[in-house]
Structure 1
């Protein structure tokens, strides 16, 4: 009887708050989680993990900071389902979706990329404590958790902190983004990353200024090498 009541309550909640796809807002069926089959099948995958030393991406950091390899799961373009998904993850509390999608990517990387075998630890790009309090979570943390789980690599938390509360990077060019973040990060507990290959994780790779600033501090702290993994990369 109790189980029947629980089932009825669950059905009632589902009726009031149905599970919708974070990419298209359509109802999910019972076998789908966070993203409908149509949106998942049509994700514009980059295939970067098959060419992790792609010079087009590495050139974002050329002459600035040495990055071993870069891989992003999907392309981000304005008006796309990926933009909708990232928006839902970043601003609408869909952190579990971030972890699930990152887990998909992690399994793909593990099965098809030799490059990720060199990674020792995963570190997410941090938010300033004021932004974290405002938003309630850091989407990069959840992405890092999903990737690390699939790759079976530890996540190093509370190693990199964001010193300054900076305005949004949106609509800034590369120089403006760099000026906005050039002294934004510090490394604590440097022994956690000493002589290790660190994968820096974020949601979207655009100009690379934020990751560059983060990587610079990690290398100063004694990291052996740094690579970059993101859910999406701007452009195509």
Structure 2
């Protein structure tokens, strides 16, 4: 996929089968407002509806037909307690329901609480997420095509950190999806 800007983020770093996002995210744009309503105002129905719509779209594409498990990027338990929900999990749940694929929110966990990435440079983001994820149930992941889901892909550093851990599992194939990918 030489012209896929989302796929290019991971090119040469982690082997990713497919990479996609529903929208491109521009600062101050309507997609940013939509994501903020979900993430910071608690409008979970936005994430569910977006996930359902995207799941229907992905289900029609041949390259996503063999997805065996959908995993949202996990939040650290402390952040999850504060926010009350994981926006990536809400979106992933909508996708899973539409695709009729199991959602697993416990096979990988975030073991390090990181500070917000919104104002960090590409290098600082990468440094901030190094070693923050841990596999909790490798057996359920073996020999599966996993769809890893997040709300927004900016530099890809969080997704890359999670993909790096998942890539240690025997026979795993990895694809990624997000509500939006930031425009640079």
Same fold by TM (over 0.5)?
yes
Cα distance in 2 for partners of 1:220, 1:74 equals 30
How much has 1:191 moved relative to structure 2?
A: 0.6
How much has 1:232 moved relative to structure 2?
A: 0.7
CA contact (8 A) 2:74 2:105 kept: no
- 1:40 matched residue in structure 2: none
CA contact (8 A) 1:156 1:192 kept: no
CA contact (8 A) 1:103 1:146 kept: yes
Is 1:93 matched up with 2:56?
A: no
- 2:18 matched residue in structure 1: 69
What do you get for the CA RMSD once the two structures are aligned?
1.4
How much has 1:144 moved relative to structure 2?
A: 0.7
CA contact (8 A) 2:76 2:109 kept: yes
CA contact (8 A) 1:123 1:200 kept: yes
CA contact (8 A) 1:53 1:68 kept: no
- Structure 1 residues 213 and 92 mapped into 2: Cα distance closer, same or farther (>3 Å)? same
Give runs of aligned pairs for residues 1-236 of structure 1, distance below 5 A: 54-111=3-60, 113-235=61-183
Structure with max Cα Rg: 1
Give the structure-2-normalised TM-score.
0.95
How much has 1:121 moved relative to structure 2?
A: 0.5
- Structure 1 residues 223 and 200 mapped into 2: Cα distance closer, same or farther (>3 Å)? farther
List alignment gaps of at least 5 residues for structure 1: 1-51
How much has 1:56 moved relative to structure 2?
A: 2.8
Q: Which has the higher strand share?
A: 2
1:168-195 C-alpha deviation (Å, 9 max, x unpaired): 1112122111110011000001111011
1:66-112 C-alpha deviation (Å, 9 max, x unpaired): 1111010011111111111100111111112201111011112223x
Cα distance in 2 for partners of 1:57, 1:184 equals 22
Cα distance in 2 for partners of 1:89, 1:53 equals 32
After the TM superposition, list the runs of 4 or more consecutive aligned residues in structure 1 that deviate by more than 3 angstroms.
52-55
